[in-house]
Every structure is written in structure tokens, then in C-alpha cells.
Structure 1
Amino acid sequence: MMKRIIWLLTLVVTTNFTNAQNSDELFNKANNLYKNGSYEQAVELYKSVIESKNVSSELFYNLGNCYYKLNKVGPSIYNYEKALLLDPLNKDAKNNLVFAKRLTLDRIEELPKSVLQKFNENYISKISFNNWAVVAIMFSILTSLFFILYYFSSKPTKKRIFFATSILCFIALIFSISITYHQYNKYNNTIEAIVFSDEVSVKNEPTINGDEIFTLHEGTKLIVIDEVDDWKKILLADGKIGWLKSKSIKELSLI
């Protein structure tokens, strides 16, 4: 039985290692094709890497660059957004996303934001909930460490310093846990999507006979707030709400 378990574990590790090697080879080949201007071929290889589940922020960033070179606005914006989902600090993806958005036809003005909303967007949201979880773990370790130092310290001065530091670390721990929870809930409850159709009619109800209230074009980002059959209820950054066909958009997710 033990030999069988070891054999299975070895097989799994070997298979994963082989898949990773193959993905790296495809990724490097795709990069070379991109450098040589063979963008469509590079796209196909990047897609093969995605199918192997060995994804990264750099992979989606490079795929976005290919689509940008091919003048495909929706796919380029979609992949830059995917790159930022995996790594919110990817400056290259962020910069190229700005250029790609300039190619879109829709100009949507965001609703005014409060000071707290701006702070959250400019600082807190720049770090993913996974990284905030790591921060929380670090502060939990520091809280425990300084409390132990306080407990075993014999000098009153050091005891006060260690106790005060452990309290500060504990407050930071609670703060980071709160942010992690908030970011995680936001990710699970917020479904963002990119318009892939050249032009899509947005209705006031989920029926073909519904009145058209406005139109959207390729590359526009929106939030999906409801779903009925093959219709999606969407919300724009300027507060507009309407219904459009599901096939006209592509939802963003980490995988």
C-alpha cells in the first residue's frame, strides 16, 4: 500500500513538473513570435498555456499586447484586466490598459467618490485579498511574539514597550483581517465584465421587444448585477442600468 501511495505521488509530481515545463516552452515560443510580429500565432500559443491552467499576470499582459497590436479592443482590455486581477501592482498592464481604453467609443463618467472611497481605490484595493491575508498572518505572528517578550521580560521599561507594541500589532491585525474579509466579499459578490460585441443594444427589460435605452461598444467595462435566461442586468460606472444579451460580454475572473 505504501509503495502504491509513493508511486501515485511521484506520478502526480512528475506530471505537474512536465506540464509546467511544457507551459514554459509554449510561453517562450509565444514571446518570440510576438517579438517577430506574428501576433495571431502568439495568441494561439498563449491560449494553449491558459488551457494548461499555468496562468500568470505576465501571461495575460502579453496576450493583451497581442490583441492590442491586432486592434482588437475588447480582448486587449479584457486580458489587461485579467493581468491586474492576478497582480494589481502590474504597472505595465495598468499603463497599457490606459492606452487600450482610449480606443473605446464609450466615454462613461464615473460617479463622484467620497474621500474614503478614493483612499480605498488608490491604496487599499491596490493589494489583493490574498496579500492582505499574508499581512494579517504577519501581524498575528508579531502580536504573539511581542506578547511573549512582554510576558517573560523582567524589566518594567521593556515590559511596557513590548506590551504597547503587541497592542499596536493586534490593532493592525484586526485592521488587516477586516480588509481581507471586505476584499474577499467584494471579489465574490462583484461580477465585472467587458463588452466584446462591436455594438450592443441595452434594453429596459430582458426581452427582445424591450425599449432601447442606450448602446454600448466593444471594450466597455461594466458590472453584472442580475441574470435572467440569456440576459444580463448591468450597471455602468455612471450609474446607468439596463439589460443586454449574455453573449455580448465576457465576465472577468481570476481563472
Structure 2
Amino acid sequence: MMKRIIWLLTLFVSASFANAQNTDELFNNANNLYKNGSYKEAAKIYESLIASKTVSSELFYNLGNCYYKLNKVGPSIYNYEKALLLDPLNEDAKNNLVFAKRLTLDRIEELPKSVLQKFNENYISKISFNGWAVVSVIISFLASILFILYYFSLIPSRKRIFFTTSILLFLILIISLAITYHQYSKFSNTVEAIIFSDEASVKNEPTKNGDEVFLLHEGTKVIVLDEVDDWKKIRLVDGKIGWLKNDNIKILDLF
């Protein structure tokens, strides 16, 4: 029985290793095709890796570059956004996203932001909720160590330092947990999408006979608020709201 278990484990590890090697080989092949200007062929390989549930910020970034070179605005923006969902600190994806957005036809002005909103966007949101969760774990570990040192320390001056520092870290821990919850709640409750159609008619109601309130074009990012049958209720960053057909957009999700 033990020999069979060991054999199965060995087989599983070997299969996993072989699969990882195959994935790396395909990724490198796609990179070489991109360097040689074969953007369509490279994009096909990147797409096949994504279809096999192999996802990474770098993979979506490279795919975005392929579509950018092919002048496909919607797919390029979509994949840069996906790269940033997986790694908000991916500076290359941020920079290329700026260039890709310049190719869009829609020029939508954001509503003015408060000081707190700007602070959240410029600093707090730079780290994902997973990142903040890691920060919380590290702080809790350090705070616990300092409290243990305080408990066992025999020198009064050191006890005061350990106690004060541990309490300060516990307060910071509460703040980091609150930020983690806020970031996770925002991620869970905010559904974003990219317009993939060349032109999308936005109606005032989820019916074919509804009045057109405005037009959107490929690459524009929207927030999805609701869904009725095959219609999505969307909002723009300038506050405009309307309904469009599902097949005009592609939802931005983590995987």
C-alpha cells in the first residue's frame, strides 16, 4: 500500500513538473514570436495559456502588448487592466495602459474627487487586498513577539519600550485590517468591464425600443451596476448611466 502511495505521489510530481516545463516553453516561444513581430501567433499562444488557467500579471501584460501592436484597442486595454488586477504595482502595464487609452474615441471626464478619495487612489489602492492581508499578518506577528518580550523582560525600561511598541503595532494592525476589509469589499462589489464593440448604443431602459442616451466606443471602461436578461446597466466615471447589450462588453474579473 505504501509503495503504491509513493508511486502515485511520484507520478503526480512528475506530471506537475512536466506541465510547468511545457507552460514555460510555450510562454518563451510566444515571447520569441513577439520579438520577431509575429504578434497574431504570439497572441494565440498567450490566449491558450490563459485558457489552460495559467494566469499571471506578466502573461496578460504581454498579451496586451500583442493586441496593442495589432491596433486592437479593446483587447489591449482589457489585458492591461487584467495585468493590474493581478499586480497593481505593475508599472509597465500602467504605462502601456495610458498609451492604449489614447487610442479610444471616447473622452470622458471623471467627477472631481475628494482629498480622501485621492489619497486612497494614490496610496492605499496601490496595494491589493491580498497585499494588505499579508501586511496585517506581518504586523500581528511582530506585535505578538514584542508583547511576549514585554511579558518576559525583567528590565523596567525595556518593558516600557516593548509594551508601548506592541500596543502601537496592535493599533496599526486594526487600521490595516480595516483597509484590507475595505479593499476586499470594494473589489467584491465593483464590477468593471471594457467595451469590445466598435460602437455600442446605450439606452435609457433595457429594451431594444428604448431611447439612445449616448454612444460608447471600443476600449472605454464602464462600471456594471445591474443586469436584466441580456442587458447590463452601466455607469461611466462622469456619472452617466444607461443600459447596453451584454455582447458589447467583456467583464474584468480576477481570473
Mapped pair 1:9 → 2:12: no
1: CA distance, partners of 2:117 / 2:6: 52
Q: Which runs of no fewer than 5 residues in structure 2 stay unpaired?
A: none
* Displacement after TM superposition at 1:172 (Å): 1.2
Partner of 1:183: 183
Q: What SS does structure 2 have at the residue aligned with 1:239?
A: coil
Q: Which residue of 1 aligns with 2:159?
A: 159
Deviation at 1:63, TM superposition (A): 0.5
* CA displacement 1:114-140 (0-9 Å, x = unmatched): 111100000000101111111000001
Q: For residue 233 of structure 1, what is the aligned residue in structure 2?
A: 233
- Tell me, yes or no, if the aligned pair for 1:82 and 1:253 is still in contact at 8 Å: yes
Greater CA drift, 2-11 or 211-220: 2-11
**Counterpart AA for 1:148:** I
The one-letter code matched in structure 2 to 1:165 is: T
User: Using a 3 Å threshold, how does the CA distance of structure 1 residues 3 and 180 change in structure 2: closer, same or farther?
Assistant: farther
Helix, strand or coil at the partner of 2:206: coil
Question: What is the deviation of 1:145?
Answer: 0.3
Which string of whole-angstrom CA distances, capped at 9 and with x for unpartnered residues, describes residues 58-107 of structure 1? 11111000000000000000000000011100101000000000000001
* Matched residue, 1:129: 129
Aligned mates of 1:10, 1:241 — CA distance in 2: 56
| Deviation (angstroms), 1:4 | 4.1
TM-score (norm 2): 0.97
SS at match of 2:202: strand
Q: Distance in 2 between matches of 1:14 and 1:108?
A: 52
Cross-structure match for 1:19: 19
Alpha carbons of structure 1 residues 228 and 8: separation in structure 2 relative to 1, 3 Å = farther
| Percentage of identical aligned residues | 78
The amino acid of 2:193's aligned partner reads: A
The answer for the alignment partner of 1:174 in structure 2 is: 174
Structure 1 unaligned regions, length at least 5: none
- RMSD between aligned alpha carbons? 1.1
For the pair 1:57 / 2:57, whether they are aligned, the reply is yes
Whether the aligned pair in 2 keeps the contact of 1:104 and 1:217 (CA below 8 Å) is yes
CA distance in 2, matches of 1:175, 1:13: 41
The whole-number CA distance in structure 1 between the counterparts of 2:213 and 2:223 is 17
- Three-state SS of the structure 2 residue aligned to 1:58 is helix
Task: Name which of structure 1's ranges 148-157 and 45-54 shifts more when overlaid on structure 2.
Answer: 45-54
> Quick check: 161-170 or 17-26, which moved more?
17-26
Q: What are the Cα deviations for residues 192-245 of structure 1, in whole angstroms up to 9, with x where unaligned?
A: 100000000000000000000000000000110100111000011001110000
1:19–1:52 CA contact under 8 A, matched in 2: no
Question: In structure 2, the residue corresponding to 1:23 is in which secondary structure?
Answer: helix
User: Contact between 1:84 and 1:94, CA under 8 Å: does it hold in 2?
Assistant: yes
Give the Cα–Cα distance (whole angstroms) in 1 for the partners of residues 26 and 185 of structure 2.
35
Which amino acid is the alignment partner of residue 183 of structure 1? Q
Query: Which residue in the other structure is 2:106 paired with?
Result: 106
Q: Distance in 1 between matches of 2:4 and 2:221?
A: 51
Query: Taking structure 1 as the reference length, what is the TM-score of the superposition?
Result: 0.97
Work out whether 1:251 is the aligned partner of 2:240. Answer: no
Structure 2: distance between partners of 1:9 and 1:206: 54
Aligned to 1:224: 224
Aligned to 1:81: 81
Report if the CA contact (8 A) 1:20-1:54 is conserved. Answer: no
Report SS of the residue matched to 1:111: coil
Number of matched residues? 255
- Output the CA distance in 2 between the equivalents of 1:100 and 1:38: 20
Kindly report which structure 2 residues correspond to 1:196-211, keeping only aligned pairs within 5 A, or say none: 196-211=196-211
Question: Counterparts of 1:253 and 1:110 in 2: how far apart (Å)?
Answer: 22
Secondary structure of the corresponding residue to residue 33 of structure 2: helix
